[in-house]
Amino acid sequence: MKKLILLLLSITDEMKKAVLLIIGLFALIALGVAQVFVDTISEYTSEHGVLIDGTIIKDGAVYFAPSSPSSDTGVLYMNSSDEHIYFRSSTTTYDLTTGDSFDSTYSHLRIDSLRTEIEDTVSLGDVAVILTDTIPLFVFGGGGGNAGDTASFSTSTIYGSFYNAEKDTLVITEMIAVCQGNSPDITVDVEWHASLLDGSATGLNSVPPSITSITEGDSDVSFDYTDIPPGVWVWMKTPTIDTKPTYLSVTILGHKK
């Protein structure tokens, strides 16, 4: 034990530094940090290893070489004078300690590849079937079912509106409407635009469907436009009225995307 202590005390500072650098390199490789440099250098330069303060590490073997290579290509090393880590590519030397960029044909290529993998996005719909619940999204209506409530209905009446402030698009899959009254006959049209009641609004149907049912309701599943985007006002009108109802309820079903 005494001899071992004396031996350790006799090691010079330069030798200590070299040993610590080698140990540190292997620690980085074990953690997967330095492996980026090692793999990339070995890919492009079969004749060189990793040079750190006079020590070349290549294919599991340790060699000794000058600490400041003048013509080596693809070499990672530490300069003894300023203790900066450098990467030498052909005739250009990059100071990694001060943040110089790697040459794109060497280590930067591997880092860019890793960055691409991290930033890559895949649509979930491309790898899995996305099941959506079809639910009532909104309801419009008018009247209260009383005899005098026929006065609530006209071709200029607005039967409610809302602003789609969400980021989701509303996908319409079905419209179910039911009336009350004496043989009611009325058409309904759901429209949307950035401005309420704009004359160039988009509607579910270019020809609004006629509603006459007073029991189970009339269903419509065929639309000219089905997607209501975010950032628009949505409202319902009755473009034509043959016989006014006393009550009207229109349920719009669908899902968000």
Which CATH number belongs to the domain containing residue 217 in this structure?
2.60.120.340
In a domain, 81, yes or no: yes
Determine the pLDDT at residue 218: 97
In a domain, 123, yes or no: no
Same domain as 107, residue 176: no
Determine the pLDDT at residue 43: 38
- DSSP designation for 96: T
Q: Hey, which residues does 95 pair with through a beta bridge?
A: 86
Same domain as 149, residue 80: no
Same domain as 251, residue 164: yes
160 neighbors 140 (Cβ within 8 angstroms): yes
* H helical segments located in 103-224: 107-119, 124-127
The residue type found at 98 is: T
What angle do helix axes 13-31 and 35-44 make, rounded to 10 degrees? 90
Same domain as 234, residue 149: yes
In a domain, 120, yes or no: no
**What pTM did the predictor assign?**
0.52
- Tally the domains of the chain: 2
In a domain, 3, yes or no: no
Tokens, residue 182: 């004496």
How confident is the prediction along the chain (257 residues), in pLDDT tens digits per residue? 445 444 555 555 555 555 555 555 554 444 443 433 333 334 333 444 444 444 445 444 444 344 454 555 556 666 667 767 666 666 677 676 665 554 444 444 445 555 555 566 666 667 666 667 899 999 999 999 999 999 999 999 999 999 999 789 999 999 999 999 999 999 999 999 999 999 999 999 999 999 999 999 999 999 999 999 999 999 999 999 999 999 999 999 999 98
Determine the pLDDT at residue 98: 65
In a domain, 124, yes or no: no
Q: Which domain holds residue 223?
A: 135-256
Same domain as 172, residue 210: yes
Last residue of a domain, one of 85, 115, 145: 115
In a domain, 47, yes or no: yes
164 neighbors 227 (Cβ within 8 angstroms): no
Same domain as 238, residue 142: yes
In a domain, 129, yes or no: no
Determine the pLDDT at residue 210: 97
**Cβ density class 210-246: b for 16+ within 10 Å, e for less:** ebeebeeebebeebeeeebeeebbbbbbbeebeebbb
In a domain, 128, yes or no: no
Same domain as 198, residue 86: no
E strand or H helix that includes residue 23: helix 13-31
- DSSP designation for 129: P
C-alpha–C-alpha distance, residues 143 and 133, integer Å: 30
Same domain as 92, residue 171: no
Determine the pLDDT at residue 90: 61
> How many residues does the structure list for the chain?
257
The residue type found at 133 is: D
C-alpha–C-alpha distance, residues 186 and 238, integer Å: 7
Strands 135-143 and 247-256: antiparallel
